[in-house]
Homo-oligomer: A and B are copies of this chain.
Amino acid sequence: MELELTLIGYEVIRDAEGELPVLLPFSEMGGVLAVHTAAHHLQAEMGGRGILLGNVPGVAPPTVLILGAGTAGTTAARQAVATGAHVIVVDSELTKLRELNREVAGHVVTDLSRLVRLERYVAIADVVIGAVLVPGSRCPTLITEEMVKTMKPGSVIIDLSIDQGGCMETSRPTTLDNPTFVVHNVIHFCVPNMTANIPRTASRALANASLPYIQALADQGLDQALRDDPGLAAGVYLYRGKMINARLGETLRVAVSSLDELLSKGE
């Protein structure tokens, strides 16, 4: 603020549909990584059940339970279905399940997450992937510790929701150095930013997603770019040293200004 900087946060820029376009690729990459990571930790050397995330003829395939049918959950589901696993996806929105179901031609079990079946699904799952992302708020705890107790020893939980508090009662943030811990014999992988492990792909994806905004800033100048694109304006934390973001202002107990007013003055 003293430097009179303008700060725009990638993670709060919104597009015309109100989605977070710069975060979207990270959900896509996270969904694929979750399946790769589950495949790795199911192996015996890692303490897992010692099973293959695949469909070997004559051997019943493992069951992957995915919580959430948003971008991360859908991407994970597609990847898991491609391995030949038995895939179950739950979400609270029927529309998302319908889209996923159609996309994978029905090769998936879809269910609403609010119903009691969740307990049954957890008990038969070899892998549970938490992909419940509620923008701007702590995500709900869907899997209780009691449910985790019913899982088979060596099963794997990947909690992609850990940035927002996690959607399992037993999950807590870990680091890439030491990514897993074990609760009730179930391996928990809860690294908040998994994509740090694929920096080359992630940085290109980030560049792709942020390029239109950088280009708009370069072409039109800061003020005009913010006036033209309310989604970009929604990403402003600080504007020329003034606090704009209400939540951050409240947290830091700093007076909050209206970006609209500041911009209209500048005209």
- Whether A208 and B83, one on each chain, are in contact in the complex, defined by CB atoms closer than 8 angstroms, is no
Chain B residues near A21 (CB-CB < 8 A): 94-95
Q: With an 8 A cutoff between CB atoms, is A252 at the interface?
A: no
CB distance from A17 to the nearest CB of B (A): 9
- Whether A198 and B44, one on each chain, are in contact in the complex, defined by CB atoms closer than 8 angstroms, is yes
CB distance from A140 to the nearest CB of B (A): 13
Q: With an 8 A cutoff between CB atoms, is A180 at the interface?
A: no
Q: With an 8 A cutoff between CB atoms, is A50 at the interface?
A: yes
- Whether A28 and B49, one on each chain, are in contact in the complex, defined by CB atoms closer than 8 angstroms, is no
Q: Which residue in chain B gives the minimum CB-CB distance to A176?
A: B45
How many identical chains are in the complex? 6
Report Cα–Cα, A84/B60, bound state, in Å. Answer: 18
- Whether B54 and A29, one on each chain, are in contact in the complex, defined by CB atoms closer than 8 angstroms, is yes
- Whether B112 and A44, one on each chain, are in contact in the complex, defined by CB atoms closer than 8 angstroms, is no
Q: Which residue in chain B gives the minimum CB-CB distance to A49?
A: B200
- Whether A199 and B55, one on each chain, are in contact in the complex, defined by CB atoms closer than 8 angstroms, is no
Report Cα–Cα, A29/B39, bound state, in Å. Answer: 12
Q: For chain A residues 173-206, which have a beta carbon within 8 Å of chain B?
A: 176-177, 196-202, 204-205
- Whether A83 and B55, one on each chain, are in contact in the complex, defined by CB atoms closer than 8 angstroms, is no
- Chain A interface size range: 35 or more
Q: With an 8 A cutoff between CB atoms, is A117 at the interface?
A: yes
Chain B residues near A112 (CB-CB < 8 A): 58, 208, 211
Report Cα–Cα, A29/B84, bound state, in Å. Answer: 13
- Whether A42 and B208, one on each chain, are in contact in the complex, defined by CB atoms closer than 8 angstroms, is no
Q: For chain A residues 94-138, which have a beta carbon within 8 Å of chain B?
A: 94-95, 97-98, 100-103, 105-107, 109-112, 114, 117
- Whether B52 and A201, one on each chain, are in contact in the complex, defined by CB atoms closer than 8 angstroms, is yes
Q: With an 8 A cutoff between CB atoms, is A233 at the interface?
A: no
CB distance from A242 to the nearest CB of B (A): 31
CB distance from A143 to the nearest CB of B (A): 18
Chain B residues near A56 (CB-CB < 8 A): 25, 28-29, 32, 201, 205
Chain B residues near A79 (CB-CB < 8 A): 54, 82-83
- The chain A residues found within 8 Å of chain B, CB to CB, are 21, 25, 28-29, 32-33, 36-37, 39-40, 42-45, 49-61, 79, 81-84, 86, 92, 94-95, 97-98, 100-103, 105-107, 109-112, 114, 117, 176-177, 196-202, 204-205, 208-209, 211-212, 215
